[in-house]
Amino acid sequence: MNDDMTRERDRPGGRVTMQQVAAEAGVSISTVSKVINGRYGVSSETFDHVSAVINRLGYEASLVARSLRNTRTNVIGVLVADFEPFSTEVLKGAADAIRDTGYELVAYSAGGRVDEHVGWERRYLSRVMGTLVDGAVLVTPTVTDVQYDGPVVAVDPHTGRSSLPTVAADSLQGARIGVDHLLELGHRRIAMVTGRPDLVSAQLRERGYREAHGAAGVPVDDSLLVLGAFDADQARGAARTLLRRPDPPTAIFAANDVSALAALEVATELGIDVPGRLSIVGFDNIPESALAHPPLTTVQQPMRELGHQAIAMLVGLIAGHHLEETHVTLETTLVRRRTTAAPGAAS
Amino acid sequence: MNDDMTRERDRPGGRVTMQQVAAEAGVSISTVSKVINGRYGVSSETFDHVSAVINRLGYEASLVARSLRNTRTNVIGVLVADFEPFSTEVLKGAADAIRDTGYELVAYSAGGRVDEHVGWERRYLSRVMGTLVDGAVLVTPTVTDVQYDGPVVAVDPHTGRSSLPTVAADSLQGARIGVDHLLELGHRRIAMVTGRPDLVSAQLRERGYREAHGAAGVPVDDSLLVLGAFDADQARGAARTLLRRPDPPTAIFAANDVSALAALEVATELGIDVPGRLSIVGFDNIPESALAHPPLTTVQQPMRELGHQAIAMLVGLIAGHHLEETHVTLETTLVRRRTTAAPGAAS
DNA sequence: CTGTTAGCGCATTCAG
DNA sequence: CTGAATGCGCTAACAG
């Protein structure tokens, strides 16, 4: 602890302000501002002097104060409900895309306490748009009335007609190939752990599930569809319900990998061999899915590419460009690993 | 005159301000502020009326303006050089830890353009500390003089004695078990693709490599140590140098998984069978490592736990608690997959 | 070339 | 109980 009063750091965290730089350099605040922003109208002598003081004090302009004053901040926001595998993959793609744009990236999350208030994206948007960030990418937004007139792009968006530009994977096609794979292996009792009903992606996956059955002439048993809501806990419950039935399914198609991994966990817990007695197919191909035992067969969606595209569109929007495509859809592919086999192929 | 009363939404993004709420409700700005912050001194009548207007307009306080005014923001910052596998895993752990704290999380990155200015963390810190965030977690900071007196915790920190509290995995022990594994398999010419020399973790991994050799009585050939700097491109170059030697090593120990994966790529490219003619061991166990062909044998460090611990320490720090341990070290374990075998075991 | 002034959106005194 | 005034750190007009 030093008692010396020579330092005038009053804010916690030891922030140095322009005020202090100006005082130290013996000039006015606005002169410091000019030096920092490289504005003309400063003698090279003062410039050097002030620069030296700035370096010595380690001054750096407060993002917040600057944001409040300026319209442009040069920062793009990625708004997520939580940092989980899907959103972080999208984030990696966004980071990749932003590298050459000159923008900085801020990812913002309320820490998963989303259910408290449906419509978190609306609140987040109000909080940061127009001040902290120049534009925002919304990852899996839930509400239907995000009628925002600023530059905003949604990834894997909600139900309902949205005026927002969107980027999403082709969930319908993806579910088709996932369920077709199971059907081709000979499965006839295929259960589904469904996703969050408010998300378009979840609805399409269920539709794909039904269409695949229809195309194969296999009737759908509606009691085999259980809500998993893209949530590990809920999906575990759903899987338990399914697998404890007197007539359990021979396969489970899960609306996302987190749910599929949960189902795999439950199967192991109940002593059900996978893929011997139960086949499981997921959706997403999050990196974690390859780490499972056995590694998960899943429908891959290009998560990073989703983030990449969203940033590209957003940057165009901010620049005032007109978007060619306002609703971009990316393809999915099947990744065969070890959780699927023909039914009754007990090991 | 009252020209400013007629002002509509001038900010882009359609942000609603207190100004507009006040005008719409026919009250003053300070009354709106009181309603929002639940301050006493407002009649329940006005309270209800103003609340109604707030809901109708969808008003939400600007994070930026509020940050500027208040000392506390209830937001914690995670500052990263880039959103890559390691930092995003730490981020997941941080998100997990923050769930019950009431804090929100902001992850900030300059978009990988770090090399332009060494010491990015110093700048980031100045930008956000004391205004946007109440405290910060620094992921793999590089400079040696981050002498910040605010609540800051470093994950996998830099070289030199740091006054900052730190959280890191036991790199020395990790490197020991990784190299021991190779030694036990019978390898005697083990190369190492080293990490970023400015990071303590990288130095310890090299030391572990040397100690393992010493303990086994196997001399170290210094020409077998090549700089990879935790960077994919650089590691690829290093691996190429190593594998094109007339007397190539029979195994490579890489300072992190990104480097190991790069080495694997080069081996494939050169037609060298892994693990038949070359064994590879990585460090980190990022999710991607299991996706490789063949899946990577690696030393796992608890990346999420790193983030979790850092947040726990930071929250304590912000609350003014005294830290029990200022330098936390977590254990590592070996994950055997398919990139290691006895030397000369050509397939 | 430099300093003074006026806010950005909000929370907090302190008068009325 | 309510509103006008002040300032957080900064930039952009405008004065000197």
The predicted-structure confidence for B256-272, as pLDDT tens digits, reads as follows: 999 999 999 999 999 99
Which chain A residues touch B288 with a CB distance below 8 Å? 287
Whole-number mean pLDDT of chain B?
88
Q: What is the DSSP-derived secondary structure letter of residue B287?
A: G
| Cβ contact A35:B39 at 8 Å | no
- Go through A200-235 and write b for each residue having 16 or more CB atoms within 10 A of its CB, e for each that does not: bbbbbbbebbbbbbeeeeeeeeeebbbbbbbbbebb
Coil/strand/helix, residue B294: coil
Q: Which residue has the tokens 């005014």?
A: B69
User: Smallest Cα–C1' distance to nucleotide D7: which residue has it?
Assistant: B69
Q: Predicted confidence band at B245 (pLDDT cuts at 50, 70, 90)?
A: very high
pLDDT the model gives residue B145: 58
Selection from A303, A252, A301 nearest residue A281 by Cα = A252
Which chain B residues touch A82 with a CB distance below 8 Å? 95
Total beta-carbon pairs less than 8 A apart between chain A and chain B: 185
Decide which of B182 and B54 is more confident.
B182
Selection from A231, A268, A267, A262 nearest residue A249 by Cα = A267
CA dihedral B64, B70, B76, B77 (to 10 degrees): 50
Q: How far is the CA of A153 from the C1' of D6 (A)?
A: 39
The H or E element containing residue A193 is strand A190-194
Q: How far is the CA of A54 from the C1' of C1 (A)?
A: 20
For residue B166, pLDDT over 80 is answered with: yes
CA dihedral A83, A84, A87, A92 (to 10 degrees): 80
Q: What kind of architecture, by CATH, is found in domain A70-169+303-330?
A: 3-Layer(aba) Sandwich (3.40)
Query: How many Å apart are CA B297 and CA A247, to the nearest integer?
Result: 41
Query: How many Å apart are CA A283 and CA A255, to the nearest integer?
Result: 6
**Residues within 8 A of B (CB atoms), A 115-154 only:** 122-123, 126-132, 148-151
pLDDT the model gives residue B180: 98
**Residues within 8 A of B (CB atoms), A 30-89 only:** 58-65, 67-68, 71, 82-85, 88
B29 part of contact set with chain A, CB < 8 Å = no
CA atoms within a 13 Å half-sphere pointing along the CA-CB vector of B342: 3
Selection from A238, A140, A246, A237 nearest residue A192 by Cα = A238
Q: Which residue has the tokens 């990696």?
A: A92
Residues 160-179 of A with CB under 7 A from strand C: none
Contacts from A18-25 at CB under 8 Å and sequence distance 24+? A18/A59, A18/A61, A20/A57, A20/A59, A21/A50, A21/A53, A21/A54, A21/A57, A21/A59, A24/A53, A24/A57, A25/A49, A25/A50, A25/A53
Q: Which residue has the tokens 């695949």?
A: A212
- Around Cβ A278, how many Cβ atoms within 10 Å? 27
User: Which among A88, A95, A130 is the nearest to B11, CB-wise?
Assistant: A130
Which chain B residues touch A107 with a CB distance below 8 Å? 83, 91, 106-108
For B90-118, what is each residue's pLDDT tens digit? 999 999 999 889 899 999 987 766 555 55
The H or E element containing residue A108 is strand A104-109
pLDDT the model gives residue B209: 98
What phi-psi label fits residue A26: left (phi over 0), alpha (psi between -120 and 50 degrees) or beta? left
Selection from A34, A138, A75 nearest residue B127 by Cα = A75
pLDDT the model gives residue A8: 37
Backbone angles phi, psi at A334, to 5 degrees: -85, 135
For residue B77, pLDDT over 60 is answered with: yes
Q: B251-254 and A333-335 as β-strands: parallel, antiparallel, unpaired?
A: unpaired
Rounded (10°) angle between helices B29-36 and B44-57 = 90
Q: How far is the CA of A111 from the C1' of D13 (A)?
A: 42
A41 CB contact with strand C at below 7 Å = yes
Q: Do B62 and A109 touch (CB under 8 A)?
A: no
The answer to whether the Cα torsion of B152, B153, B155, B161 is positive or negative is: positive
Which chain B residues touch A85 with a CB distance below 8 Å? 92
The H or E element containing residue B267 is helix B257-269
Q: Quick one: A171-301 is in which CATH superfamily?
A: Response regulator (3.40.50.2300)
B131 CB contact with strand C at below 7 Å = no
- Around Cβ A111, how many Cβ atoms within 10 Å? 22
Query: How many Å apart are CA B262 and CA A33, to the nearest integer?
Result: 45
Contacts from B273-276 at CB under 8 Å and sequence distance 24+? B273/B346, B273/B347, B274/B339, B275/B338, B275/B339, B275/B340, B275/B341, B275/B345, B276/B341, B276/B345, B276/B346, B276/B347
For B309-335, what is each residue's pLDDT tens digit? 999 999 999 998 988 888 899 999 999
Residue of B nearest to A129 (CA): B13
Q: Do A105 and B101 touch (CB under 8 A)?
A: no
Selection from B17, B170, B343, B284 nearest residue A129 by Cα = B17
SS3 content of chain B, % helix, strand, coil (to 5): 40, 15, 40
Q: How far is the CA of B33 from the C1' of C14 (A)?
A: 16
A9 part of contact set with chain B, CB < 8 Å = yes
For residue B187, pLDDT over 70 is answered with: yes
Which chain A residues touch B101 with a CB distance below 8 Å? 111
B290 part of contact set with chain A, CB < 8 Å = yes
Q: Which residue has the tokens 């009903």?
A: A197
**Residue A64 is which amino acid?**
V
Strand B251-254: give its sheet, edge to edge.
B225-227, B190-194, B251-254, B279-284, B297-300, B333-335
pLDDT the model gives residue A345: 63
Coil/strand/helix, residue A226: strand
Residue ranges of chain A with per-residue pLDDT less than 70: 1-14, 111-118, 143-149, 159-162, 345-347
The yes-or-no answer to whether B70-169+303-330 and B171-301 have a common fold is: yes
User: Which among A130, A148, A288 is the nearest to B287, CB-wise?
Assistant: A288
Contacts of A220 (CB under 8 A, 6+ apart): A209, A210, A213, A214
Give the bridge partners for A199, in sequence order.
A158
pLDDT the model gives residue B97: 94
The domain made up of A3-60 has a fold known as 434 Repressor (Amino-terminal Domain) (1.10.260)
pLDDT > 90 in chain B, percent: 62
CA atoms within a 13 Å half-sphere pointing along the CA-CB vector of A68: 16
Query: How many Å apart are CA A299 and CA A282, to the nearest integer?
Result: 6
| Cβ contact A134:A151 at 8 Å | yes
pLDDT the model gives residue B296: 95
pLDDT the model gives residue B14: 60
| Cβ contact A58:B122 at 8 Å | yes
State the nearest Cα–Cα gap between A215 and chain B, in angstroms: 33
Nucleotide of closest approach to A126 (CA, C1'): C9
B152 to B121, B148, B311, B312: CA distances (angstroms): 11, 7, 10, 12
**Greatest Cα-to-Cα distance within chain B, rounded to the nearest angstrom:** 90
Q: How far is the CA of A132 from the C1' of C9 (A)?
A: 12
Query: How many Å apart are CA B169 and CA B90, to the nearest integer?
Result: 12
Extents of the domains making up chain B? 3-60, 70-169+303-330, 171-301
Instruction: Give pTM, 2 decimals.
Output: 0.87
The H or E element containing residue B226 is strand B225-227
pLDDT the model gives residue B117: 57
Q: Predicted confidence band at B40 (pLDDT cuts at 50, 70, 90)?
A: confident
Query: How many Å apart are CA B17 and CA B9, to the nearest integer?
Result: 9
